[in-house]
Structure 1
Amino acid sequence: MIFSGVMFSLMFLLSDNAQCRKVDGKSECCSLVEGFPVRLKELRSSYKEIQSFYESNDDLDALLDDTVQHNINSPYGCHVINEILRFYLESVLPKAVKKIHFKTPIDSIGNIFQELKRDMLKCRNYFSCQKPFEISNIKNSYEKLDGNGVNKAIGELDLLFNYIEQYLASKRVKH
């Protein structure tokens, strides 16, 4: 699902008229923000290979709802993203990879999520992280769905990609 207003804002922020906030000693963090569009393209490409399967098996209520997006846009957005990435890496992707014909795209998404999680942890000060995000509501909903939880969580990866993209784009400033 693409929100045109959000996408317009993100396109502007990611355009040549925007650049990473310069913070002494944080060039790695600036590289994370500036380089995310490449990672996002890889995520979307891998997801496209599995998207129709997971979306066709998903008629359940959202796991990644407006509350998640609101929290990502809050002062503790980096913790929200970290917790959600941990949830996908520890709970969702290991179950999804068992579907043999989807191993490669799921592994690719997992590798990028692992790198992103590592890089965001290194850049906690750059992102001005404040308070940890409580992911228990998402985890509880996921667990209640049993086997359908994987379909639900994977079916919402495009939404998660949008949330992460929006968060990282917000860390750029206009010249």
Structure 2
Amino acid sequence: MKGVTNQYKPNRLLQSFLAAWTDTDLIMKCAVVAVFGLVCCLLGGISAHSIGMKHKQKAGVVLSPPLGNALHRQRVNELARAAQQLDKDTETRLLNLPKNHTDMTNLFVCCLHVNIIDFYLRNVLNTEEKYPHLTVVKQDLHRISTDLKEQGCAVTHVRNQQYVQKFKEEYIKLGTNGQRKAIGEVDILFEYLSRFCKEKKTQ
């Protein structure tokens, strides 16, 4: 009987080892499942947060994508800066908001500047002088003008408005320097468009 008992000892050891291995494997599987579940929860939370942010940003967004794009604004600023460095006239300014702009709706002020965009496209940005980003900025302004007209800017209604007329008269008065002055103020134009050409905030 003693021999028989010794004969079964290796089998018991093997069974114990297999049982321990199975338990370890089970623990590892549980750990993997737990980690996977945690990652899913985190990703789910991030997605929900992102969706929430998108909904928050809808209110008061600009009516044309280039107006809310940092790269577009940087190119406009670099173009304006290059023209400003060549402009010796630091007294004159073409673009000044109407004094009574607070009595106007944002859309009306926006449309005033869409009319000025069209003037830029026809008379200002067709210069033969070399400026950084000139072609790209011209494309951006064309896109902005198109978008804002689709949003309701009927530029024919504001074409003869005093503010627009004064801008054109001052531009012509400056002669050959008018084009350079206007390019140097394209950043101001872009700023006004970004400020006034927005959707109304929803509650």
Could you say which TM-score interval applies, normalised by the shorter chain? 0.5 to 0.7
Partner of 1:19: 58
Q: Does 1:163 align with 2:195?
A: no
How do 1:46-125 and structure 2 match up within 5 A? 46-56=75-85, 57=87, 58-67=89-98, 70=101, 74=105, 76-95=108-127, 98-100=128-130, 102=131, 105-124=133-152
Q: TM-score by structure 2 length?
A: 0.58
1:19 counterpart letter in structure 2:
K
Q: TM-score by structure 1 length?
A: 0.67
Alpha-carbon distance between aligned partners in 2 of 1:108 and 1:72, rounded to the nearest angstrom? 34
Instruction: Check conservation: 2:112, 2:158, Cα contact below 8 A.
Output: yes
Alpha-carbon distance between aligned partners in 2 of 1:69 and 1:47, rounded to the nearest angstrom? 27
Q: Secondary structure at the match of 1:94?
A: coil
Alpha-carbon distance between aligned partners in 2 of 1:172 and 1:120, rounded to the nearest angstrom? 14
Structure whose alpha-carbon radius of gyration is higher: 2
> Normalized per residue, which structure has more helix?
2
Q: Secondary structure at the match of 2:58?
A: strand
Instruction: Check conservation: 2:95, 2:167, Cα contact below 8 A.
Output: yes
Q: How many residues get paired? A: 144
1:113 counterpart letter in structure 2:
L
Structure 2: unaligned runs, 5 residues or longer: 1-53
**CA distance 1:31–1:159, change in 2 (3 Å):** closer
1:132 counterpart letter in structure 2:
V
**CA distance 1:144–1:82, change in 2 (3 Å):** same
Deviations 1:118-171 (A, max 9, x none): 1111111xx6999424222111110110111112111111211110011123x2
**CA distance 1:107–1:130, change in 2 (3 Å):** closer
**CA distance 1:36–1:16, change in 2 (3 Å):** farther
Identify which of structures 1 and 2 has the higher relative contact order when contacts are C-alpha pairs closer than 8 Å and 6+ apart.
1
Structure 1 stretches (4+) deviating beyond 6 angstroms?
127-130
- 1:132 corresponds, among 158, 167, 171, to 158
